[in-house]
Structure 1
Amino acid sequence: MTNEPSINVDHDEAGANIEHGDHDNAYSGLLVNDAHWAFGTDFEDPLAGVDTTVPSGVDSHELAVYCQMLGDDALIFSQRISEWCSKAPDLEEDIALANIALDLLGQSRLLLARTAAADPSLVPQLPEGSPVPDEDRLAFFREDLAFRNVRLAEVPNGDFAEAVAKILIYSTWRLAIFERLQSSRDTVLSAIAVKGVKEMSYHRDFAGRWVLTLARGTEESKTRLLTALDGLWPLWDELFETHPVEASVAAAGIGVDPAEVADEAGVILDQVFAAAGIDRPERGALAGVRGQKGRDGLHTEALSKMLADMQVVARQYPEGQW
């Protein structure tokens, strides 16, 4: 005898039995003695079947760090946007923000998996036999100084006006980079960029429409929008500062030098601002620490607090199974 049912029985409206195989039962998988790591959502290798060979002439460590930078941007910003779940002004915006967060989380998973494939030495070590996949080790078991995201991604949430302003700035910058990244010599990065361009085109349009709505709405909505943009603007320049790793992978035909998209991204934002009837903020750039910023692992205090919440359960149960 087995404790696992092979047939599940329901009844139709007339009371007749309807037999189903286990594959139709959403709960049957819970009866299988097949342990998974507790914190993932899809337990297959996200790059399964993909050629992860590092292109000739490319430093594998630099490729890995570059993917880590892009992956960290998406992971941290996804976490911030996901904090809006159940808190948006109405259900439609709540779902839209959740979908944006999921898009970014998917990008992060692929990019961090590429990081691990290119240079396994960057992946945190866990107890032997731990079921945690590499991309989740990178997400949950690094300290804040090991993260390479731009500081805009980690800014704590304010009101809804700040959320849409932040998404507009981030997606305008990120989309310009991914459009160029589609021609990367690394087939994995190229494929990620092709998918990402479609996603972030929606993100930018969603935020742009809301910026126009708030700017043309009430005095209160316009004031909140202008306050949000003014507070975020000191982080704009950092998005286009070229880290040595970015310069190196760009020269190798793998990555994109962010400085090359500064004018393009600026034009897009100016077009949105003009349509909204508002001016570009004039705040100066936020300084780093001894010249170091997010790409160097120097962050605001907000990142440490976010990671404490995001990582606490995984760190408590590094071999957690369900």
Structure 2
Amino acid sequence: MCLLRLGDDALVLGQRLCQWITRAPTIEEDLALSNIALDLIGHARALLTRAGRLDGTGRTEDDLAFTRGEREFTNTLLTELPNGDFAQTVARQLAFTHYAVLRYASLAGCPDPELAAFGTRAAKEVAFHRLHADRWTRQLGGGTAESTRRMQRALDHVWPYVGELFDEDDATRRLAAAGTLPSPAPLRREWEQRVAGVVTGAGLTVPKTTWQARGGRSGLHTEEFTALIAELQSVHRQFPGGTW
């Protein structure tokens, strides 16, 4: 279940970023976001394949990506948020990439050698995604009055969705107690320190939220998720069992 959650996070966010293709502010950003999306989809493939092996169902990465219904996806609400303007995408990337680097790095100490190897590699790849988000946060925060306003508004919009990244439940606690898979909860303090450094360094304010959005891990998603999954699964549904 925990690997499925990580795989769903990567798959859904990768699909969201694909929506920037041909729509990014510059050609360079079109390429950058496309490459980040490709990395995320690669992470999703590895994680979903491993999840299918471990859950005893024999499902493949394609089965998990293309044949599940909306309520069966366990990604956080953060990863499915609409792209919005460029600042909102940057704010979402800032929150997720700092989390993902810490989360994947924590997997490097897993007793499962395949998962440990994945964590080591993925943490290095997401570190470049983090640099991209950090740079744009500083550039927008320290740019014009309009870019500063939009970046702060984007942070305020995204922040209520952050907490779900670090949530624990019985499954994560059991795995952590057994030493099989570390819990994400202890990572939050370091995440907060690192992200606060970037935000304040950009001349922006770390949001203080009065509510937290949750439900994605339980299959309760936003209204916009329906269209996102329909787009993701459209070719498979049109040509079931097709090979290329």
Contact 1:150 1:294 in 2 (8 A): yes
Q: What is the match of residue 238 of structure 2? A: 316
CA distance, structure 1, for counterparts of residue 163 and residue 58 of structure 2:
28
Q: 1:284 aligns with which of 201, 205, 210?
A: 210
- State, as a whole percentage, how many aligned pairs show the same letter: 41
Amino acid at match of 1:108: A
Q: What is the match of residue 136 of structure 1? A: 62
Displacement of 1:280 in angstroms is 0.5
CA distance, structure 2, for counterparts of residue 174 and residue 244 of structure 1:
21
Alignment of 1:103-122 (within 5 A): 103-121=39-57
Q: What is the match of residue 161 of structure 1? A: 87
| 1:190 maps to 2:116 | yes
CA distance, structure 2, for counterparts of residue 98 and residue 316 of structure 1:
25
CA distance, structure 2, for counterparts of residue 170 and residue 192 of structure 1:
18
| Aligned alpha-carbon RMSD (Å) | 1.3
Contact 1:241 1:259 in 2 (8 A): yes
Which is helix-richer, 1 or 2? 2
Displacement of 1:241 in angstroms is 1.2
Q: 2:11 aligns with which of 75, 80, 84?
A: 75
Change (3 A) 1:307 1:158: same
| 1:170 maps to 2:96 | yes
CA distance, structure 2, for counterparts of residue 285 and residue 196 of structure 1:
31
TM-score using structure 1 length? 0.73
Structure 1 portions without partners, runs of 5+: 1-64, 124-133
Q: What is the match of residue 4 of structure 1? A: none
Larger CA Rg, structure 1 vs 2: 1
Structure 2 portions without partners, runs of 5+: none
Aligned length: 244
Contact 2:77 2:213 in 1 (8 A): no
Displacement of 1:88 in angstroms is 1.1
Give SS of 1:301's match: coil
Q: What is the match of residue 171 of structure 2? A: 245
Displacement of 1:295 in angstroms is 1.3
Displacement of 1:286 in angstroms is 3.0
Displacement of 1:208 in angstroms is 0.3
TM-score using structure 2 length? 0.96
Amino acid at match of 2:16: R
Q: 1:301 aligns with which of 216, 223, 231?
A: 223
Change (3 A) 1:302 1:256: farther
Amino acid at match of 2:38: L
Displacement of 1:205 in angstroms is 0.7
Q: What is the match of residue 255 of structure 1? A: 181
Amino acid at match of 2:81: V
